[in-house]
Every structure is written in structure tokens, then in C-alpha cells.
Structure 1
């Protein structure tokens, strides 16, 4: 993003407060919400570069909220390797000149994610299949992460399908999100897209993201999470549809 105007800075602050609020209430969704909003007014590449620091800070905190860090590393290390490889391989699309195509991919990813969230059909992965599926899920998650800056699919529904305890689920998601953020930063840096200006604005987004998380955590205790998640996924679906159709409608 080349124009660091007051309006742009205000948009970034509001966006990351909303994204942090969503993460505080629903336990996830900061990168998805931030990419969905920012990509409407800027390129997905610029939006992804702003995600790095606030996403890392919030996910790193989430990673260390549970007691089973070492155990989860041993269980999911091969999936994390897949995420890294996939992200580095897919980041060429995000850093290329064909940003309208990344917008379409992002929109389709958001639509798929919202449909899964709204249908809320429970998934279950047998333990015997985990060793085979983990590297595949990691690689696909990484490819989508590298191409769109969104690292929720298919990692989130897959990890949710493993029958983990609540604490282990939150910590496992934190692990996947942290690794995805680091890999995305490496891919953007390799593609020459993570500059000093991006770092400054990304750091600026940390405070509103954390404040949004804190606010969301308080609100989570007072409203129905089910109702909020329905509204969240409908909003994500609208954003995804707009992003997927925008290059076609304006061509």
C-alpha cells in the first residue's frame, strides 16, 4: 500500500479492532475477517502484509494458553511442515502482478469457509487416518495461505474433527496459526512484498487487535456465541461473494 493517508490508517485500526473482536468472541477469525475487509479496498497482497505482526502476536499468545505444547508439537509436526512448504510454494501467486486472481481465490475460500460454518456439520477423523491426512491438510492449508493470506482452511475443520479437548483444540489452532503466519511472512519477504512501511502499519494494528480481543472476550460471556457465529459467517459469505465477483464485474 503506497498511500499511508489518515483515512487508510483509520481503516486499518477499525478493521483490526473488528477482527480482534471476532477472535475474542469466536476464538478464531482474525486473519479471515481482516483479509475480507481490507481486500475490498486494497490488493490482497497489501492486506496480507498488514496481517503479519498482529496475527503473530495474537496467535502466539493463543499457542501458549494451554499446558500441552510439547505433546501437540510431537503430534502435529508433520502437518506444520506441510503448512510451511505449501505456503512458500503458494506465495508466488500472492506476490505476482495478477492480484485479481488472488482476489477470486480469496473470495471462493471465504465462501467455502462460511458455508462450512453455517451448515455446522460435525466432522470426525479416525485416529488411524490422522498420520496420512495431516501432511495433506497441512500442504493444502499452506497453499491457500500462500495464495490468499487466509490460513483457516482446511486446517480448522480438520483439527476440530480430531476430537481434541477444549484446551488442546485452542492450543493446536494457535500452533497452526502461528506457523502459518511465520511461513506467510517468509513468503512475502521472499517475494519482496514485506517492506518497512508494511512492518510499521502491521505493528500499528497490534493494539486495536488486542483491544478487540479483550472486548470480544468480555462480550462472549454475555451473548450467545451461536448467534454471533451465524452473523459472522453470513458476513464472511457476503465479503467472499463480493471479492470473487469484483474482478469479473469490473472487467
Structure 2
């Protein structure tokens, strides 16, 4: 059963984690769910961490999806990717209440290791031909959604796939934001349907929106003074270490 109440120490720790995740997203443009879930999973069951992450993720990614003038282009180019992501999330998250929480945490850790290693060491994916994109896009959307449904993290293979499409920057940013919103909304529906979204966690998710946006505002200010490439590398190295620890702790 998921606890619905937090003491002061819990509230301060969770707020700090969301502020840190927001700061990373503000500087690097990504990382709120990835950083937040990885850190939250150190001290609480992953389904609870996923429930806490819902509203901040939706709020920040709705802004990301709607900002700019490329929304229509993103929807037109990525519609099958987004539909498949929604279906994959609903199917995978539909039975999350029956899954072992330690296995889910280990899966999140493995996902962090794979995504960070790919970002640090892996070559860019080749550009698919239009014919391959037509059938690969829903496949990648479905896989990304399924992993989001099990771990709460919509990053792999979504991010490298969208990068491989060589989308214009505005389309990439808004398209990734749309994917995250779709996956998170479907995750919320699945969690609520299984009784994994009690009122206490819903209120806590509302409360951490403020520190998340505070962290993002701080991160946007730091972006002008920090070398973004080096910052991304540091974040990926930290996520790699965190992912390896989650795997070792939950499967050791």
C-alpha cells in the first residue's frame, strides 16, 4: 500500500529533489522525470515516485509542447509515434500494481544506464528513410510508452529516435514535450485505475510543482553562464552512476 502522508523531513527531501530536477531541466532542457525518479526511487517504491512525478512532469512539458510555433508541424510529423506511445503506456502501466516494486526500480536503473551510456558514448542514430520512418515511428513510440508505463521515464528510445529524424529544433522540442505529456497522462489514468493515486499523493504532486518551476527558473539563469555541453555530460555521468546503483541495490 502506498503511504499518502509525508512528515516534514520527507516533504523537504522531496521538494529538494524536484527543485534539482527542475534546475537540470532549466539548464539542459531535459531530465526532470529522469533525475527525479532516480533519486525518489532511492527512498520510496517506484509507483509512489511515479505518482509524485505526474503533475510536475505534465506542467513543465505542456509548457514545452505549447511554447513556440511548431505544434501543428510536430503533431503532423509525429502523430503515429504519439498514438503508439499512448497505447504502449496504457498497456504497460495497466498491470503495474501486480509488478514487483524492486524489479521496477531495477528496470529504471537499467534504463538510466542505457540512456546515459548512449548519450555519452553512442553514435547518433542514422537518419531513417521516409519508408522506414513510416513503420519505425510507431514502433519506437510504443517501446518508449511501454518503458514509461513501467518506469515513469519517457526518454529511451524516444529521445535518440527523435534526434535521428533530424527535426527542426522547435519541432524536436515540442514533439518531445508532446510525447512526455501523452505518456504521463496515460500513466496517470492507469495509476488512478489501480488505486495507486490516492488523494494524499495527488496533493503532494501539486505541492512540488512550485519547487520544480523554481528550479527551472534558476536553471535558465545558469544556462547563460555554464557550458551546456559539459553540464549535460556531468548530468549523464551522475545518472549513469545512479542507474548502476539502483540495479545493484534491487537485484543484488
TM-score normalized by structure 2? Answer: 0.95
Q: Distance in 2 between matches of 1:52 and 1:127?
A: 35
Instruction: Tell whether 2:214 aligns with 1:211.
Output: yes
Alignment partner of 2:187 out of 180, 184, 201: 184
Unaligned runs of 5+ in 2: none
CA-to-partner distance for each residue in 1:54-104, whole Å, 9 max, x for gaps? 000000000111202122112211111111111111114532251111011
Matching residue within 146, 149, 159 for 1:146: 149
Tell me the secondary structure at the aligned position of residue 124 of structure 2.
coil
Structure 1 stretch 70-79 or stretch 147-156: which is displaced more? 70-79
Structure 2 CA distance, aligned partners of 1:97 and 1:136? 24
1:65-104 matches, cutoff 5 A: 65-92=67-94, 94-104=96-106
Residues in 2 aligned to 1:118 and 1:6: alpha-carbon distance in whole angstroms: 37
Could you list the per-position Cα deviations for residues 150-178 of structure 1 after superposition, in whole angstroms to 9, with x for gaps in the alignment? 11111111001111111111111111111
C-alpha distance after superposition, 1:163-206 (max 9, x if no partner): 11111111111111111111111111122101111110000110
After superposition, give the CA deviation of every residue in 1:218-244 in whole Å (9 maximum; x if it has no partner): 111111111111110111011111111
State how 1:87-126 maps to structure 2 within 5 Å. Answer: 87-92=89-94, 94-119=96-121, 121-126=123-128
Aligned-residue Cα RMSD (Å) equals: 1.2
Task: Decide which moves more: 19-28 or 126-135.
Answer: 126-135
Q: Structure 1 residue aligned with 2:199, among 173, 196, 202?
A: 196
Task: Name the structure 1 match of 2:178.
Answer: 175
Equivalent residue pairs, number:
249
2:84 and 2:142 in contact (8 A); partners too: yes
Does 2:44 align with 1:42? yes
CA distance in 2, matches of 1:223, 1:87: 35
1:50 Cα deviation (Å)? 0.4
Unaligned runs of 5+ in 1: none
1:44–1:94 CA contact under 8 A, matched in 2: no
Q: C-alpha distance in 2, partners of 1:186/1:221? A: 38
TM-score by length of 1: 0.96
Inter-partner Cα distance in structure 2 for 1:94 and 1:103: 12
Secondary structure (helix, strand or coil) at the match of 1:23 reads helix
Runs of 4+ displaced beyond 6 Å: none
Q: Measure the CA separation in 2 of the matches of 1:24 and 1:109.
A: 22
CA–CA distance in 2 between the matches of 1:9 and 1:186?
Answer: 25
Question: Could you say what secondary structure the match of 1:222 adopts?
Answer: coil
Q: Which moved more, 1:117-126 or 1:78-87?
A: 117-126
